[in-house]
């Protein structure tokens, strides 16, 4: 990505910074004090609501806890068991990793493409935007499970369509271990509405002047997209990348409703969090589930950290 | 250019404050949801009970009506009912139990009573038996089904048996009748006769992909074994489990069973997508009470028969999974809770309302009292299960902690075998060795 | 309100005229429309199913019901003995209050992270992100115990109070990213003109953040409206049920579910979301591209 557009023409619109330095220093100090006021609600929430349960779960990860009273400290046993004595844990890791690596880029590409398309001067834009967002309204409705069966089942819509093209020997997509995860990836891509909306909002923040100036310079549509839109959008792209990655690592609902909570067939859709859920609420092994949760936190943290590390090379903040 | 001190910023403050005001208004609009906490305070003699069960709105309508009868009989007692579908119900129950905040009276799964009973979440009903709760009509077997260790932590309100449901027209076309099926070999033969893969008709649904495995338990008891030991470890002979899976694998390989993917898709579609309902399968193994559900979904003639037996089956293998009711250890009104449990087990007026919604009433008196009013599929169900309950039945050990996990593992190895991912002996060997890890004697 | 992005450009730059070639527009419309159909087909199937008799839902896959009935709606509306309007109203109240809470608390925190200096900034920012990374299933029970200990079960407090305390880090991070993209020169200018941090936040940043605030409002509303687990755990009184809890009442995984009424009420439940989206997206597109920096 080109970084040399860091100061596109037209951004230095406001009054150039003036004022003497001592004045600014006083403001800095005042701001520092003000920062805590701005953070106050969040800090109350963090210490009052969020942090306690998090620390509790960290403690539980070192215990054998069955939810109903039995609780004994077991050190690192849960963590050791995960890697040495649990093939389902390993398979859940692999399923989740595959899901993250395929569905996140696909979903983001779709979302970005559609957002760019729908940001253009197309008549009936509001209508299209709503239509593309519709699937994301469904949330975790059980209706999705039935829908997906109608589409990807043995005699579902997809196979009917492919059959009409003369193809035979079609798999039962939703109930074949090799394909079931694929249908969940499609489901995730299908609900690309959320990142799309965020992209759209990002596109609306790109100052019109930049385009005007570029047009005067004779840039074509692709040139404008590459030189103005993309760099200006990088903070939002970064946000979507990080958040969709976190979401994908924690994917739960899709498999929970479509496989009925089992992660089947043959654990082919057993997401990490679904297995964690089974451990916690079916097997009553909350200690183990907590250990899984904290391991996942570390993994997501590493991925997110990596994203932040690379961001300095490709994410451009106009305000900084 | 933007003037930073523009008196009319683009996001009008009015609209922002307007939203705020609207929100505040909604808050004060007398929303009950912002009242005080829901703890049931009680003054002498008065009690307020929370009662909860799994199921849908139609079940709730019946049970709310029954609760109204209880309130009418007990001055000063008020009840509040909660319900959810089974999955969410179990999750909520686990969370509430961890917080010591279980509903006063709650319906309990037979698969969970061992864990919740041993975990100290449930009220020991022993001291209320006979005095408050009349157990004469449910018998010792009824008490045993909720006994964990030394305490009675649940009692059965209903029983569901397991049975064979047949599509008599599909079977008849092949010259067989469900009434002729006494043994598993008979079942296999009939399924082979009825199956017509070219027409998309299967001999019988594949039970190994179901999420409960009570017919396997029947198979094991017929062979003289048990699934679990009284101490809570695995008792089943691995060879018997293997034979069960080999029996079904053979039929599957012959095309008598639906292919794994079709069966698994159908299982996810609920009863409306069941092969028996759709007329593409001749038989299915089911809970006995499912007969009323299937009958409501198809016009085709159906038959209800006992679970087939091994040729050399023990004669006292019969067992009836109970639908249990418990009281919470954290209840403020144990006496009233016990009275309510008695009410759901023994009250004829309540049974007149709730009827067979959860299965066959556990009390023989209630069952006999209801029978004349029943018709059609309900009569068939109650007669079938009553007949079987006359059979000798040796007690069976309560399902221990870890039985839910074992149940899930059974489904999973069923899938692995059906999809061809593992051989029967591999899969069963893994099942048994894994089970040693979580089915541990206390 | 359409074509705000390209039209001024076209006016300023005759060189761009070729873009007006009609066939391009037609192709573009075609692609978008085709995609749109693929997006909504499953929903159309749902709508169709809602108007079919229960027995036809799975046997008649067509989009036009062979037998048309509105019985699912009438039956579903009163299935819980309380009209569904109560549940919709409850969901609406919770969602509306949550929107307010999230907009206020998250934008405040985001401003601090994006624009102000303070000690432990990096640590706190990392902590904020970390709260997003822990699967909620393991904090569910401790959190339940927490809210139960202050007697908040069977009230809406556990559902809405956290929203005023910026517990949803998603929105903080979202707003931080948008704020960091805003030119800092504007803040500086305002500061020179005598604005304190709060003045900058209120007069400069918030107005320019309208698209991001619209996104946060839309998402908060939809996610809160669809939330199942929270109300399931905390709400017991039937009069306080939210729409998703009420929808669950049509399901019986141990018996036969009532799919017809479930579809009918699901569609009614999506309708308000759709309306909210339509309303809010107006603010989404009126970003600074059309107002602020001109």
Residues of C within 8 A of B68 (CB-CB) are none
Q: Find all residues with CB under 8 Å of B190, minimum gap 6, and list them.
A: B171, B174, B176, B178, B180, B181, B203, B282, B283
Given its phi and psi angles, is residue B365 left (phi above 0), alpha (psi -120 to 50 degrees) or beta?
alpha
Q: How far apart are CA A251 and CA A271, in angstroms?
A: 7
Q: Residue with structure tokens 């040729």?
A: B311
Q: Do A262 and B408 touch (CB under 8 A)?
A: yes
pLDDT at A50: 94
Other C-beta atoms lying within 10 Å of the C-beta of residue C25? 15
Is residue C5 very low, low, confident or very high in pLDDT (cuts 50, 70, 90)? Answer: very low
Regarding whether B206 and B180 lie in a shared domain, the answer is: yes
Q: Do C39 and A211 touch (CB under 8 A)?
A: no
Which residue, A149, A182, A264, C254, is CA-closest to B414?
A: A264
Q: Do C32 and A122 touch (CB under 8 A)?
A: yes
Q: Decide: A196 and A128 in contact? Cβ < 8 Å.
A: no
pLDDT at C59: 74
Regarding whether B303 and B430 lie in a shared domain, the answer is: yes
Is residue A220 very low, low, confident or very high in pLDDT (cuts 50, 70, 90)? Answer: confident
* Of the partner residues C94, C250, C259, the one whose CB lies closest to the CB of residue B57: C250
Q: Find all residues with CB under 8 Å of B356, minimum gap 6, and list them.
A: B289, B292, B370, B374, B378, B381, B382
Residue B20 has pLDDT above 80, yes or no: no
In a domain, residue B345? The reply is yes
Q: Do C116 and A57 touch (CB under 8 A)?
A: no
Q: Do B9 and C203 touch (CB under 8 A)?
A: yes
From B171-180, B248-257, C22-31, C205-214, the region with the lowest mean pLDDT? C22-31
* A225 DSSP assignment: I
Which residue, A20, A14, A31, is CA-closest to A207?
A: A14
Is residue A24 very low, low, confident or very high in pLDDT (cuts 50, 70, 90)? Answer: low
Q: Do A265 and B4 touch (CB under 8 A)?
A: no
Is residue A217 very low, low, confident or very high in pLDDT (cuts 50, 70, 90)? Answer: confident
Is residue B73 very low, low, confident or very high in pLDDT (cuts 50, 70, 90)? Answer: very high
Q: How far apart are CA C60 and CA C52, in angstroms?
A: 9
Residue C53 has pLDDT above 50, yes or no: yes
In a domain, residue B17? The reply is no
Q: Decide: B170 and B282 in contact? Cβ < 8 Å.
A: yes
pLDDT at A9: 37
Q: How far apart are CA C173 and CA C141, in angstroms?
A: 26
Residue A39 has pLDDT above 80, yes or no: yes
What average pLDDT does range B325-343 have in this prediction?
97
* Of the partner residues C29, C146, C166, the one whose CB lies closest to the CB of residue A53: C146
Nearest CA distance, A144 vs chain B (angstrom): 12
| Kind of pairing between the strands at B322-327 and B360-361 | unpaired
Q: How far apart are CA B343 and CA B69, in angstroms?
A: 10
Share of chain B above pLDDT 90, in %: 80
Q: How far apart are CA A233 and CA C4, in angstroms?
A: 18
What average pLDDT does range B401-415 have in this prediction?
93
Residues of B within 8 A of C229 (CB-CB) are 91
pLDDT at B250: 97
From A279-283, B355-359, C4-8, C268-272, the region with the lowest mean pLDDT? C4-8
Residues of A within 8 A of C244 (CB-CB) are 139, 141
pLDDT at B171: 95
Q: Do B16 and C195 touch (CB under 8 A)?
A: no
Q: Residue with structure tokens 């979202």?
A: C174
Q: Where do the structural domains in chain C lie, given as residue ranges?
A: 7-69, 77-285
B contact chains, 3+ CB pairs < 8 A: A, C
Q: How far apart are CA C286 and CA C289, in angstroms?
A: 7
Q: E strands within A233-288? A: none
Q: How far apart are CA B115 and CA B401, in angstroms?
A: 5
Regarding whether B347 and B289 lie in a shared domain, the answer is: no
From A51-65, C48-62, C277-291, the region with the lowest mean pLDDT? C277-291
Residue B17 has pLDDT above 60, yes or no: no
Residue C290 has pLDDT above 50, yes or no: no
Residue A5 has pLDDT above 80, yes or no: no
From A175-184, B40-49, B244-253, C113-122, the region with the lowest mean pLDDT? B40-49
Q: Among all residues of chain C, which has the CA nearest to that of A260?
A: C253
- The DSSP line for C71-140 is HHHHHHHTTTSS-HHHHHHHHHHHHHHHHHHHHHHHHHHHHHHHH---TTHHHHHHHHHHHHHS-THHHH
Residues of B within 8 A of C193 (CB-CB) are 4-5
Own/partner pairs, A106-109, CB within 8 angstroms, 24+ separation: A106/A185, A106/A189, A107/A188, A107/A189, A107/A192, A107/A195, A107/A244, A108/A195, A108/A237, A108/A240, A108/A241, A108/A244
**Three-state SS letters, chain B:** CCCCCCCCCCCCHHHHHHHHHHHHHHHHCCCHHHCCCCCCCCCCCCEEEEEEEECCHHHHHHHHHHHHHHHHHCCCEEEEEEEECHHHHHHHHHHHHHCCCCCCEEEECCCCHHHHHHCCCECCCHHHECCCECCCCCHHHHHHCCEECCEECCEEEEECCEEEEEEHHHHHHCCCCHHHCCEHHHHHHHHHHHCEHHHCEECCCCHHHCCCCHHHHHHHHHCCCCCECCCCCECCCHHHHHHHHHHHHHHHHCCCCCCHHHHHHHHHCCHHHCHHHHCCECEEEEECCHHHHHHHHCCCCEEEEECCECCCCCCCECCCCEEEEEEECCCCCHHHHHHHHHHHHHCHHHHHHHCCCCCEECCHHHHHHHHHHCCCHHHHHHHHHHHHHCCCECCCCCCCCCHHHHHHHHHHHHHHHHCCCCCHHHHHHHHHHHHHHHCCCC
Q: Find all residues with CB under 8 Å of B196, minimum gap 6, and list them.
A: none
Average pLDDT of the residues of chain A: 86
Share of chain C above pLDDT 70, in %: 89
Q: Which domain holds residue B52?
A: 47-160+320-389
Residue A60 has pLDDT above 70, yes or no: yes
Regarding whether B297 and B178 lie in a shared domain, the answer is: yes
When divided into structural domains, chain B yields a total of 2
| Cα first-last separation, chain C | 16
Average pLDDT of the residues of chain B: 89
Is residue B355 very low, low, confident or very high in pLDDT (cuts 50, 70, 90)? Answer: very high
From A80-89, B102-111, B304-313, C8-17, the region with the lowest mean pLDDT? C8-17
CATH superfamily of A76-314: MetI-like (1.10.3720.10)
pLDDT at C6: 35
What average pLDDT does range C83-90 have in this prediction?
96
Q: Among all residues of chain B, which has the CA nearest to that of C154?
A: B38
Alpha-carbon C181 to chain mean position: 23
Regarding whether B264 and B411 lie in a shared domain, the answer is: yes
Residue that wins the pLDDT comparison between C245 and B16: C245
Regarding whether B238 and B361 lie in a shared domain, the answer is: no
Q: Find all residues with CB under 8 Å of A313, minimum gap 6, and list them.
A: A1, A3
Q: Find all residues with CB under 8 Å of A57, minimum gap 6, and list them.
A: A290, A293, A294, C134, C138, C139, C142
Residue A4 has pLDDT above 70, yes or no: no
- List, for residues C171-210, the tens digit of each pLDDT value: 999 999 999 888 888 888 888 888 888 999 998 899 888 8
Is residue A27 very low, low, confident or very high in pLDDT (cuts 50, 70, 90)? Answer: low
Is residue C18 very low, low, confident or very high in pLDDT (cuts 50, 70, 90)? Answer: very low
Angle (CA) C178-C180-C182 rounded to 5° is 75
What average pLDDT does range B200-206 have in this prediction?
96
What average pLDDT does range A220-238 have in this prediction?
86
Regarding whether B188 and B66 lie in a shared domain, the answer is: no
What average pLDDT does range A45-63 have in this prediction?
96
pLDDT at A22: 54
Q: Do A264 and B415 touch (CB under 8 A)?
A: yes
Regarding whether B336 and B370 lie in a shared domain, the answer is: yes
| Interface test mutation site (partner A, options B213, B265, B413, max chain A beta carbons within 10 A) | B265
CATH says C77-285 is which class?
mainly alpha
Q: Decide: A232 and A206 in contact? Cβ < 8 Å.
A: yes
In a domain, residue B36? The reply is no
Q: How far is CA A95 from CA A85, B13, B261, C109, in A?
A: 18, 48, 19, 36
* C19 DSSP assignment: G
Other C-beta atoms lying within 10 Å of the C-beta of residue C194? 8
Is residue B32 very low, low, confident or very high in pLDDT (cuts 50, 70, 90)? Answer: low
Q: Decide: A228 and A214 in contact? Cβ < 8 Å.
A: yes
pLDDT at C247: 93
Is residue B269 very low, low, confident or very high in pLDDT (cuts 50, 70, 90)? Answer: confident
pLDDT at A185: 95
pLDDT at C289: 44
Residues of B within 8 A of A66 (CB-CB) are 115, 119, 401
Q: Do A265 and B119 touch (CB under 8 A)?
A: no
CATH of residue B91: 3.40.190.10
From A104-113, B9-18, B30-39, B89-98, the region with the lowest mean pLDDT? B9-18
Q: In what order do the strands lie in the sheet with B105-108?
A: B77-84, B47-54, B105-108, B322-327, B155-159, B360-361
Q: How far apart are CA B7 and CA B409, in angstroms?
A: 68
What average pLDDT does range B88-115 have in this prediction?
95
- List, for residues B181-191, the tens digit of each pLDDT value: 999 999 999 99
Q: Do B1 and C210 touch (CB under 8 A)?
A: no
Residue B30 has pLDDT above 90, yes or no: no
Is residue B178 very low, low, confident or very high in pLDDT (cuts 50, 70, 90)? Answer: very high
Residue that wins the pLDDT comparison between A17 and C77: C77
pLDDT at A122: 60
Regarding whether B191 and B69 lie in a shared domain, the answer is: no
- Is C185 in the B-facing interface, judged by CB distances under 8 Å? no
Residue B27 has pLDDT above 50, yes or no: no
Residue B154 has pLDDT above 60, yes or no: yes
Residues pairing with B53 in the sheet:
B83
Regarding whether B280 and B214 lie in a shared domain, the answer is: yes
Residues 22-61 of chain C with CB under 8 A from chain B are 54-55, 57-58
| Kind of pairing between the strands at B105-108 and B47-54 | parallel
Residues pairing with B228 in the sheet:
B234
Q: Decide: C174 and A198 in contact? Cβ < 8 Å.
A: yes
Is residue C34 very low, low, confident or very high in pLDDT (cuts 50, 70, 90)? Answer: confident
- List, for residues A168-182, the tens digit of each pLDDT value: 889 999 999 999 999
Residues 90-149 of chain C with CB under 8 A from chain B are 90, 93-94, 96-97, 99-100, 103-104, 140-141, 144-145, 148
Residues 69-128 of chain C with CB under 8 A from chain A are 104-106, 108-109, 111-112, 114, 116-119, 124, 127-128
Compute the CA torsion angle B171, B176, B182, B184 (nearest 10 deg): -70
Residues of A within 8 A of C192 (CB-CB) are 15, 17-19
């Amino acid at each position: 990505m080109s970084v040399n557009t860091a100061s596109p023409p037209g951004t230095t619109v406001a009054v150039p910074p003036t004022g003497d330095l001592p004045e600014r220093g006083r403001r800095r100090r005042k701001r520092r004090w003000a920062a805590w006021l701005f953070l106050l609600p969040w800090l109350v929430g963090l210490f009052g609501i969020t942090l306690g349960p998090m620390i509790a779960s960290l403690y539980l990860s070192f215990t054998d806890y069955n939810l109903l009273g039995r609780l004994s400290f077991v050190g690192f046993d849960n963590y050791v068991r995960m890697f040495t004595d649990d093939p389902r844990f390993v398979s859940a890791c692999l399923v989740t990793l595959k899901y993250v690596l395929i569905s996140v880029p696909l979903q983001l590409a779709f979302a970005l493409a559609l957002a760019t398309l729908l940001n253009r001067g197309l008549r009936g834009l509001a209508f299209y935007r709503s239509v593309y967002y519709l699937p994301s309204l469904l949330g975790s409705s059980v209706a999705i499970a039935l829908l997906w069966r109608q589409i990807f089942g043995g005699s579902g819509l997809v196979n009917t369509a492919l059959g009409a093209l003369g193809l035979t020997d079609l798999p039962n997509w939703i109930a074949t271990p090799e394909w079931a995860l694929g249908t969940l990836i499609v489901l995730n891509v299908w609900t690309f509405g959320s990142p799309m909306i965020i992209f759209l909002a990002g596109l609306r923040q790109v100052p019109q002047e930049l385009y005007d100036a570029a047009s005067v310079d004779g840039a074509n549509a692709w040139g404008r997209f590459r030189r103005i839109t993309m760099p200006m959008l990088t903070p939002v792209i970064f946000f979507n990348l990080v958040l969709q990655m976190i979401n994908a690592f924690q994917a739960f609902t899709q498999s929970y409703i479509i496989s009925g909570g089992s992660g089947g067939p043959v654990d082919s859709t057993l997401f990490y969090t679904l297995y964690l859920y089974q451990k916690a609420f079916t097997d009553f092994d909350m200690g183990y589930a907590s250990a899984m949760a904290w391991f996942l936190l570390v993994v997501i943290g590493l991925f997110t950290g990596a994203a932040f590390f690379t961001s300095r090379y490709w994410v451009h903040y106009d305000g900084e | 250019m933007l003037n930073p001190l523009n008196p009319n910023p683009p996001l009008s403050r009015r609209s922002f404050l307007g939203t705020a005001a609207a929100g505040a208004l909604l808050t004060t609009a007398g929303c009950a949801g912002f009242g005080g906490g829901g703890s049931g305070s009680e003054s002498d003699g008065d009690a307020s009970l929370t009662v909860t069960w799994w199921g849908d709105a139609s079940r709730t309508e019946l049970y709310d009506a029954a609760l109204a009868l209880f309130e009418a009989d007990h001055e000063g007692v008020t009840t509040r009912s909660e319900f959810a579908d089974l999955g969410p119900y179990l999750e909520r129950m686990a969370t509430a139990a961890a917080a010591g905040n279980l509903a006063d009276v709650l319906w309990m799964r037979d698969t969970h009573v061992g864990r919740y009973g041993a975990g100290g979440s449930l009220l020991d009903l022993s001291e209320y038996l006979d005095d408050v709760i009349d157990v004469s009509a449910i018998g010792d077997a009824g008490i045993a089904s909720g006994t964990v260790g030394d305490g009675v932590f649940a009692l059965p309100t209903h029983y569901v048996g397991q049975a064979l449901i047949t599509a008599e027209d599909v079977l008849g076309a092949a010259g067989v009748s469900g009434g002729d099926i006494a043994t598993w070999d008979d079942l296999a033969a009939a399924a082979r006769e009825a199956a017509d893969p070219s027409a998309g008709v299967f001999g019988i649904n594949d039970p190994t992909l179901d999420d409960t495995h009570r017919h396997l338990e029947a198979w094991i008891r017929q062979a003289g074994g048990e699934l679990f030991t009284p101490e809570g470890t695995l008792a089943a002979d691995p060879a018997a489990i293997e034979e069960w899976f080999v029996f079904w694998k053979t039929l599957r390989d012959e095309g008598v069973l639906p292919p794994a993917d079709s069966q698994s898709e159908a299982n996810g579609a609920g009863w409306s997508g069941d092969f028996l309902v759709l007329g593409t399968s001749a038989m299915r193994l089911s809970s006995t009470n499912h007969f009323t559900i299937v009958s409501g979904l198809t016009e085709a003639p159906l038959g209800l028969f006992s679970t087939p037996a091994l040729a050399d089956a023990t004669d006292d293998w019969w067992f009836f999974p109970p639908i249990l009711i418990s009281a919470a250890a954290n209840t403020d009104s144990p006496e009233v809770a016990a009275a309510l449990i008695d009410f759901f087990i023994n009250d004829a007026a309540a049974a007149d309302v709730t009827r067979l919604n959860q299965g066959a009433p556990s009390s023989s008196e209630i069952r006999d009292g209801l029978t004349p009013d029943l018709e059609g599929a309900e009569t068939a169900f109650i007669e079938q299960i009553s007949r079987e309950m006359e059979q000798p039945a040796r007690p069976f050990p309560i399902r221990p902690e870890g039985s839910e996990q074992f149940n899930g593992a059974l489904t999973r190895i069923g899938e692995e075998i059906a999809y061809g991912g593992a051989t029967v002996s591999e899969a069963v060997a893994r099942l048994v060795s894994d089970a040693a890890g979580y089915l541990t004697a206390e | 309100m359409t074509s705000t992005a390209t039209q001024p450009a076209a006016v300023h730059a005759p060189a761009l005229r070729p873009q007006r070639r009609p066939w391009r527009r037609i192709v573009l419309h075609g692609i978008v429309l085709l995609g749109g159909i693929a997006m909504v087909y499953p929903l159309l199937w749902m709508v169709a199913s809602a108007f079919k008799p229960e027995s036809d839902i799975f046997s008649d896959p067509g989009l036009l019901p062979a037998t048309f009935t509105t019985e699912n709606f009438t039956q579903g509306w009163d299935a819980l003995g309380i009209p569904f309007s109560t549940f919709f109203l409850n969901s609406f109240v919770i969602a509306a209050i949550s929107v307010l809470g999230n907009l206020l608390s998250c934008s405040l925190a985001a401003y601090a992270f994006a624009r102000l200096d303070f000690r432990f900034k990096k640590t706190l920012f990392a902590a904020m992100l970390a709260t997003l990374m822990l699967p909620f299933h393991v904090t569910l029970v401790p959190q339940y115990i927490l809210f139960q200990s202050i007697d908040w079960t069977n009230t809406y407090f556990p559902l809405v109070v956290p929203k005023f305390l910026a517990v949803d880090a998603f929105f903080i991070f979202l707003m931080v990213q948008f704020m960091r993209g805003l030119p800092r020169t504007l803040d500086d200018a305002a500061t020179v003109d005598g604005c304190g941090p709060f003045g900058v936040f209120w007069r400069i940043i918030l107005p320019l953040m309208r698209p991001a605030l619209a996104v946060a409002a839309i998402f908060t509303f939809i996610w809160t409206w669809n939330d199942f687990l929270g109300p399931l755990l905390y709400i017991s009184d039937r009069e306080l049920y939210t729409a998703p809890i009420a929808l669950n009442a049509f399901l019986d995984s141990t018996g036969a579910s009532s799919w017809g009424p479930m579809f009918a009420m699901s569609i009614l439940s999506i309708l308000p979301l759709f309306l909210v989206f339509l309303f809010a997206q107006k603010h989404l597109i009126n970003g600074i591209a059309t107002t602020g920096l001109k």
